Structures are given as C-alpha cells and as structure tokens.
Amino acid sequence: MILVGPSLGSSVAIDFTANYPEAVEKLVLINPSVYAEGTGNLAKLPKVIAYAGVSLLKAFPLRFYANILAFNNISLSRGLDWTNVGRLHCHMPWWEDATVNFMVSGGYNVISQINQVKQKTLIICGEDDKIVSKKLTLRLYCELLNATLRVVPDSGHLPHVEKPKCVAKLIADFARGHVI
C-alpha cells in the first residue's frame, strides 16, 4: 500500500511502517508531527484533571485559534465554518475517553523508529505551517534515507485541505513513480 499520514497521523504511519514494512510500498507524510516524545507529563495527570483538560479542547475559542494557526490567510466566515467542521469529532460519544486514554498512555513516540523506515517517502509540507516547524520537517527529510520533500505554496498545516488539487497531484505523481 501507499500509506498517507497527515500531522500526528505521520507518527502512526511511521509506527505502522516500522512494524509492518512488508505492507507498505511507499509512504506519504503531510506536515509530519513525529518528534513529540509522547504526551510527557500529561501521562501523569489524574484522570479527573485529564477529563477537564480534554473538555477544554472542545471549546469553540480554542478550536478557532487552532484554525488560525493551521490555515493560511482564511476569511472569518471560512474560519468559523472550518472550526465547526473541525470540532465534529469532539462531540462523538467516545472522543473524550479515547483522548484521555491516549494522554495517559504516554501517546506516540516514534523517534527511534524513523531510521527503520526504508520505503520511498514523500514529505509534503505547507509553506506557512505554524504548527510543525520547518526545522523539524528538514530534520525528518535528512533522517529518512529515501525521502523527497515538496513544499505547497500559500498553505498552512493542512495543505491537503487548503490546496487539495496540488497535494493530490503530488501524491498521484509519487504513486506512479514520476520524479517530482
């Protein structure tokens, strides 16, 4: 398969690829968030405090601010729409439990697995990503032996949402083996 992982999903993709290399032919990482060393001290929070924090994550002002960081130069009306869409999963009956369980489990730490990835990898990043630093993206590019890096102009943390045709073309060309 060609496995695609955006943001924290890149950690999941690296973990899967390291553990099941025979299942992954190529890897696509979009604004990869892979250098967090788990959830840190959040793993030690009492569950009551963790649930209070997770409840805060659903708050409209916090989600709206996250959208300001994630997207590049969006209008107020689009920002409001995308905030509402981006909060949908927070209202699923399982979301709070799943998020707290993720926090107290220690989260993802795939730093030691990066060097196990031998597959051809396409790293796509938004030119104006305010969430994953360019320094960390370049670090990953240098650590993956078989990686190609492409920057999507005029996009933030979610180039696949802001510039879907551009990202789709990059992935399609990569899948076909075209030099990009």
In order along the chain (180 residues), what is the average pLDDT of each group of 10 residues?
95 97 97 86 85 89 86 85 88 92 87 96 94 93 95 92 94 88
129 has catalytic annotation: yes
Between CA 119 and CA 18 the distance in angstroms is: 10
154 has catalytic annotation: no
Choice among 11, 33, 157, 160 that is catalytic? 157
Which residue type occupies 144? L
Q: What is the DSSP letter of 20?
A: -
Choice among 10, 128, 129, 155 that is catalytic? 129
Given this model, what pLDDT does residue 74 score? 82
User: DSSP E strands: which ranges in the chain?
Assistant: 2-6, 26-30, 120-126, 147-152
User: Which pair of tokens denotes residue 46?
Assistant: 């009492």
Given this model, what pLDDT does residue 180 score? 62
15 has catalytic annotation: no
Dump pLDDT digits (tens) for 123-148. 999 999 988 999 999 999 999 999 99
Tell which residue, 158, 7, 150, has the closest CA to residue 70. 158
Choice among 7, 10, 11, 155 that is catalytic? 7
This prediction's pTM: 0.86
